Structure 1
């Protein structure tokens, strides 16, 4: 149903002043609801035209009053239309209060998203990564599309974000956007960051996420066994591009570096440590957390293979993440690996196969991987057949020794 909106000026005839003039009032009407306020102007009632809501005559005073009333009317219309495109429920009191400066204009979802994005953009390369910026930009884009599709407005007030709004957004992400459960949960997490920022600044008093559970589906993080790593290492590839991608992938299987960290890896990050051996030392671009990784023989050989061939003191010829993952699928097919190979598989492989299967503690793994919280490391604490075998061998030896002592 179309909203009815009207601005009318009238005289307050029960408040006649000593000079015979009467105050000019303004009334705002929206769908039958009314709100009024004084314009701080007054006029002789004999000069007031009820039909046009204006002062009669061509005097300077009449012109000035009529011009001022026109300005008020235009400003009120602007406030109303600005609210109308952002909110579903616009009342005459809200329009009046914003016009009079009694109410600060409501913060809106997309405005606050953009503010957060602008803040991240300024911190890229300092404490935030470019990938984080891109994730929030995509999140804002999805939110803008959702608000337009579900509410038919270009933006919406933070005060209109309810439990129902969150549920509708979740459904939209999984249907219209085709997002999987965990991807949807990530978008909801980013939106919760925006909501918490608003609550901490006093722009909203109630957190709509209070009774809303963001649901993550437990997934099996893919990793390669030692045997599968060796198959890839020994494979002879017919093209240089696949050989290079294989080298980068294997390098990260033995170092645990993420894509952005290995892409930015320079010769300055390779240095001698307390043991006079080479280590990889740096800070994760994503979190700013330091990492110190002993350089094992396999990644050391890969570094030597490309030494002096690259510009800017870079260590490895790393292509775009998209190309890298595309070529890894090709490598997986050629090598007969029945797992989906992505670049992050290398980081998982390092955590499980190289570190945990060989007796690393969670604390050591957390430090090497540059995690800020050991909870992030514990997701790799899965039980593999190799770990069961290694631990059973130890148990078997202890039992055998105990049996010999008895006998």
Structure 2
């Protein structure tokens, strides 16, 4: 870390604090125009002090003794500055004063950093995002317990080796609460959260060196799943005869035709359904994750599902469009739905959003800019991750090209 470029020590007395003709003596330390006063626990007769020179005047033995003391103070403060410089510490007047007075350096720990982050992030992050930091915190605690046989670690001990060892720990860890170990991108998510916290420590001057300075994240591109037109139709037309499956299917299909996420459709209220200038019904809401406004035209199949639930007692009781159900249950029921429809894909609720981006919109010629706006993305590149060119659209485009060439 870059150290300060200017350092100066001079001495002053505070005449307004004088008692019996003697004023208290201070060392004034300046670092890059920042100044602090250090009380030297000495007093000097006011008539003996040269205010302009900042030094005692006269030739008496008392003056010589005081001059020697001041030079010793100046030397000690200079040594404090050099010591901090040699250790690569952040140098300011506070750190010099603490070292000069023999105060213990505040030792920040990883637990204190994570607690500070989680307390201060509540205003910036939604709980759905913040809760993942608590998961990372639990993994870090387990890692420190196994690797260091301790419950905490000082931030100054964080380095490249710590980050690399934590990565290895995550890759080899076998969770007890679910069967599968973390995949590569799951590991990288925890590493990214740790990196965000160490960046916070750097900004707070709690650490001087970046543990991630030479570390390279290894994110693998994921082939995002979506339902084909045939698979979506199979789910739409399937008769389940079980209320819970029918309801989850309806919510899922509704999102396949609107692009809403699970949390957004769960929070959807009747007042979010508005009449557009064209006389048709639209959804006007904000994404829970990013608070970005979203305006979605309601397609006929989405409207049919909306009308089906307009008098649902459970939904009306909660002031929502659909009855409340947890994400965990939704994904569990979707696996049952996929099995009954002979779909071998791992169907989760988020696949509805992918299906809207690909099968429902882009494959039918909707411009990617429009899809991006409906999905609530701020960048087209984000939409491109969701939206693959599916096989049917590819064939149609090639047939169009063939007809033009012939």
TM-score relative to the length of structure 2: 0.71
Q: Deviations over 1:121-169 (max 9, x none)?
A: 3x2xxx5322112111111111111111111121112221111101111
Q: Deviations over 1:279-337 (max 9, x none)?
A: 11111111111111111111111111010222232111241011001000000010001
Distance 1:334 1:342 in 2: 15
SS of equivalent residue, structure 2 residue 386: coil
SS of equivalent residue, structure 1 residue 337: coil
* Correspondence for 2:167 among 162, 166, 170: 170
TM-score relative to the length of structure 1: 0.70
Structure 1's consecutive aligned runs of 4 or more residues displaced over 4 angstroms after TM superposition are: 97-101
Distance 1:139 1:213 in 2: 19
CA contact (8 A) 1:128 1:285 kept: no
Distance 1:226 1:112 in 2: 49
CA contact (8 A) 2:309 2:321 kept: yes
Distance 1:98 1:293 in 2: 62
* 1:115 aligned partner: 116
Q: Deviations over 1:159-182 (max 9, x none)?
A: 211111011111111112431111
SS of equivalent residue, structure 1 residue 343: coil
5+ long unaligned stretches in structure 2: 1-40, 42-97, 175-180
Deviation at 1:104, TM superposition (A): 4.0
Instruction: Give runs of aligned pairs for residues 45-60 of structure 1, distance below 5 A.
Output: none
* Correspondence for 2:273 among 267, 270, 275: 270
Distance 2:401 2:277 in 1: 35
SS of equivalent residue, structure 1 residue 146: helix
5+ long unaligned stretches in structure 1: 1-39, 41-96, 401-407
Moved more, 215-224 or 244-253: 215-224
User: RMSD in angstroms over aligned alpha carbons?
Assistant: 2.1
* 1:354 aligned partner: 360
* Correspondence for 2:251 among 248, 252, 259: 248
CA contact (8 A) 1:128 1:287 kept: no
* 1:211 aligned partner: 214
Alignment: residue pair count: 302
Distance 2:163 2:138 in 1: 16
Task: Go from structure 1 to structure 2 and tell me whether the alpha carbon gap of 1:160 and 1:361 turns closer, same or farther (over 3 Å shift).
Answer: farther
Task: Go from structure 1 to structure 2 and tell me whether the alpha carbon gap of 1:98 and 1:191 turns closer, same or farther (over 3 Å shift).
Answer: farther
Aligned pair 1:317/2:323, yes or no? Answer: yes
Distance 2:281 2:154 in 1: 55
Task: Go from structure 1 to structure 2 and tell me whether the alpha carbon gap of 1:222 and 1:196 turns closer, same or farther (over 3 Å shift).
Answer: same
* 1:370 aligned partner: 376
